[in-house]
Amino acid sequence: MNPKEKIDLTGPEATRRTFLQWLGTGTVLTLAQAAACAGPPHLHGRPLPDTGKDAGTDTDAVIDAAGDAPDAGRTDYPFTPGSTSEGTVFARWPERTVDPQDLERILQDWRLTVDGLVETPRVFRFDELVELSRLNQTMDFHCVEGWSILDVPWNGLHLSTLWDLVHPKAEATHVTFHTIGGTYNESLPLPIATEPHTLLAYGIAGSTIPLKHGFPVRLVVPRLLAYKSPKYVQRIELTDRPVQGFWVQRGYSYDGPVPESRLREGKY
């Protein structure tokens, strides 16, 4: 891997109808494995499951995701299926597979539930999320393994957009993100979940996120290590207490801050 290599994010465009037709066919769903960014087996003295897959990362490696892509600043993206092919940001985006799952049937009927300590619980289809007020932001993404991806042009929505619809109760102090299958649930204090750059992401530069990177939606918390940004979110629960998520139960810090030496001004 060339640490400074720029990756072109340009790609085909399609209408929302085209995307929704694709979503119904489940084209991307043949990638039936859940993936998570996590540390190598020696970190914290806690072994990870042996999946026979190499994370393929270089310590302190970085990828400039935005590069010179002309679409990086757009706000009118027509969402198209994410590709893992050469020439896209996803092509060299490492991931560690820790729990292979059959997600096809689940994703075909995917809904996002927002409930818990709220006045008005809601359930959203994917297309309904895309219709909500969109937040486009270019932020860095840091894994606990030591690699980073720079200038990722995320598309999604700020959680306050959902809060405006569900009306959190005064006693809510934390947010639990439940993932498909319930394995990689994660928790954040409510103030961190509502920081300006915390994002519920459904796309990168106008493409939906490929399945192995979290399709249909994932959390993105740029100033925290990536294990605090769970993939495959299907329920957001407001609670009055923290939850010890998958990686925290295995010895990782609940707070998960990115070391200051890795943070770039304006990119977290």
Other C-beta atoms closer than 10 Å to the C-beta of 113 total 15
How far is it, in rounded angstroms, from Cα 139 to Cα 150?
A: 7
How far is it, in rounded angstroms, from Cα 185 to Cα 194?
A: 18
Task: Show the domains of the chain with their CATH numbers.
Answer: 16-257 (3.90.420.10)
Q: Mean pLDDT across the stretch 235-243?
A: 98
User: Residue 66: is its pLDDT beyond 60?
Assistant: no
Tell me the pLDDT tens digit for each residue of 120-149.
999 998 888 988 999 999 999 999 989 999
Angle at 248 between CA 243 and CA 251, to 5 degrees: 145
How far is it, in rounded angstroms, from Cα 37 to Cα 54?
A: 12
User: Residue 81: is its pLDDT beyond 80?
Assistant: no
Angle at 34 between CA 223 and CA 178, to 5 degrees: 60
Tell me the pLDDT tens digit for each residue of 7-18.
333 333 333 443
Other C-beta atoms closer than 10 Å to the C-beta of 214 total 26
Instruction: Calculate the CA dihedral of residues 132, 138, 143, 144 and round it to 10 degrees.
Output: -100
Tell me the pLDDT tens digit for each residue of 206-237.
888 877 788 889 999 999 999 999 999 999 99
